[in-house]
Structure 1
Amino acid sequence: MVEEKFYSDRERLVQALVHDCASELQKGIKERGQASFLVSGGSTPEPVYRELSKRPLPWPQITVALVDERWVDRNESGSNQAFIEKTLLQNCAAEAPLLAMKTPHATAAEGEEDCERAYAELPKPFDVCILGMGGDGHTASLFPHADGLAAALNPDSQKLCSAITARQSEVTGVHTERMTLTLAAILQARDIKLLITGNEKLKVYREALLGSDELEMPVRSILKQGLKPVTVYWAP
């Protein structure tokens, strides 16, 4: 259920992924009059978002929603909401509605109910979900052995959003309190795209494919779920 699209350089990867995302979003609009686009933060997808923002799609009919978020205000460093606003919601895409995860609550756990209610209103099935992967094998904010991880990885869960407290590491930085889509929510996407670059990430990806412990490398829950196809995009 994993399709690999490997490219010789990142420019080719970006162009291919932009084309594929645009096609899937247009398909959703053609079928239902609206589409939903689940997006992750990080430097790897940034050129994809900047290029996609220039595409003349019917952006007011495409709801952009975060895959995960650090529990910080949008004016603080590390906010995925601010990142998406600065990269994707520009140019032609400036008119796209954005569904953020951060609520005014003091903790992610306290904000979980409001986040769940908001995400339940998104057009389903989700059309495209962009995921990344960390050097520790995490995806979204599904971090290895995090508090709340086992529940968030339950494929039969009815929940879309889950508060997570990661174990602090070089990957997490100081912001260990997160909100994330659950595995069950991600599997409601028609098109799941995992974006990785560089030889180190390729090595981690290969390791994830070989093993089975999802708590150790949560990206395995995406790669090995067997319910929905996953397309892996990679370039050096």
Structure 2
Amino acid sequence: MAVEERFFDSREAMIDAVFEHSIGALKDAIEKGEGASFLVSGGSSPAPIYKRLSEADLDWSEIQVALVDERWVDFDHDKSNEAFIVKTLLQNDAANAKLIGMKNSSDSAKSGLAQCEAAYQTLPSPFDVTVLGMGPDGHTASLFPHAEGLSEALETKNLCSAITAIKSEVTGDCTERMTLSLTGIVNSRHVLLLISGEEKLATYREALEGNDVAAMPVRAVLHQEEVPVTVYWAP
């Protein structure tokens, strides 16, 4: 497994480290002259990192920001990841970045998949930085345990997949999702997995030790050997 663990005594220290990792990778990409791609997740853990990045000394006009996953809801829905990224990251200097969302005008994620895939194929590839989270159920992105479409998402060579999760406390009512496939996740130079708290640390360790990917889909990311995964954790 190509996993590097970076554990910290405080969330502030972890935020500093993720910030520096992201800035360095994006600057390297921009200096190569082909633009950069920054794939981002929703959630409370990365929010302070995004707010800090929004003021970073980067040529944001050369960076394309895209979502790791999205609930199949409109932009004005309170669970929209796209709206969350606009509010937290695409502010200040980062307002100059181009954002590619996943939700489109199609009635369902399945019917909108081809349009989403076409949009993601235009991103600088491989992606420069992909920021992932992990749920207490062992999901990452919108790769949920035993979800409808999970097998396809783990096996397809496309970047994106449509998922219908099994409703739970983790998913809430928004079970219809669009997500990066496993191929889409490992199509990155830097994969950063952000977790915090003792509960998620225990989930992470369980995921490392087991092999049932359907039960804990984050295992597919942790066990692959195509790209290194840097795991950031703080209490």
State the TM-score, normalized to the length of structure 2: 0.98
- Cα deviation code 1:136-167 (max 9, x no counterpart): 0000000000000011011xx32111110000
Alignment match, 1:200: 199
Q: Which amino acid aligns with 1:193?
A: L
CA contact (8 A) 2:90 2:97 kept: yes
User: In terms of mean alpha carbon deviation, does 23-32 or 194-203 score higher?
Assistant: 23-32
Please state how far the C-alpha of 1:196 moved relative to its aligned partner. 0.3
Please state how far the C-alpha of 1:44 moved relative to its aligned partner. 1.0
Alignment match, 2:171: 172
- Counterpart CA distance in 2 for 1:92 and 1:13 is 23
Please state how far the C-alpha of 1:104 moved relative to its aligned partner. 0.6
Q: Secondary structure at the match of 1:153?
A: helix
Q: Secondary structure at the match of 2:163?
A: strand
Alignment match, 1:96: 97
- Cα deviation code 1:154-211 (max 9, x no counterpart): 1xx3211111000000000000000001000111101000000001100000000000
Alignment match, 2:185: 186
CA contact (8 A) 2:150 2:163 kept: yes
- Counterpart CA distance in 2 for 1:213 and 1:64 is 32
Identity of aligned residues (%): 57
Q: Which amino acid aligns with 2:216?
A: M
Q: Which amino acid aligns with 1:68?
A: D
- Counterpart CA distance in 2 for 1:153 and 1:31 is 31
Task: Verify: 1:123 aligned to 2:142, yes or no.
Answer: no
- Counterpart CA distance in 2 for 1:87 and 1:7 is 23
Q: Which runs of 5+ in 1 are unaligned?
A: none
1:56-135 maps to which residues of 2 (within 5 A)? 56-135=57-136
Task: Verify: 1:225 aligned to 2:235, yes or no.
Answer: no
CA contact (8 A) 2:71 2:174 kept: yes
Q: Which amino acid aligns with 1:158?
A: K
- Counterpart CA distance in 1 for 2:166 and 2:108 is 16
Q: Secondary structure at the match of 1:190?
A: strand
Q: Secondary structure at the match of 1:174?
A: coil
Alignment match, 1:161: 160
Q: How many residues align?
A: 234
Q: Secondary structure at the match of 1:234?
A: strand
Please state how far the C-alpha of 1:50 moved relative to its aligned partner. 0.7
Alignment match, 2:26: 25
Q: Which runs of 4+ in 1 moved over 6 A?
A: none
- Counterpart CA distance in 2 for 1:52 and 1:29 is 15
- Counterpart CA distance in 2 for 1:145 and 1:24 is 34
Task: Verify: 1:34 aligned to 2:35, yes or no.
Answer: yes
- Cα deviation code 1:4-58 (max 9, x no counterpart): 0111000010011011100000111112330000000011111111111110100
- Counterpart CA distance in 2 for 1:30 and 1:188 is 20
Q: Which amino acid aligns with 1:58?
A: D
- Counterpart CA distance in 2 for 1:20 and 1:226 is 20
- Counterpart CA distance in 1 for 2:7 and 2:189 is 21
Alignment match, 1:149: 150
Q: Which runs of 5+ in 2 are unaligned?
A: none
Q: Which amino acid aligns with 1:171?
A: V
Q: Secondary structure at the match of 2:32?
A: helix
Q: Which amino acid aligns with 1:191?
A: H
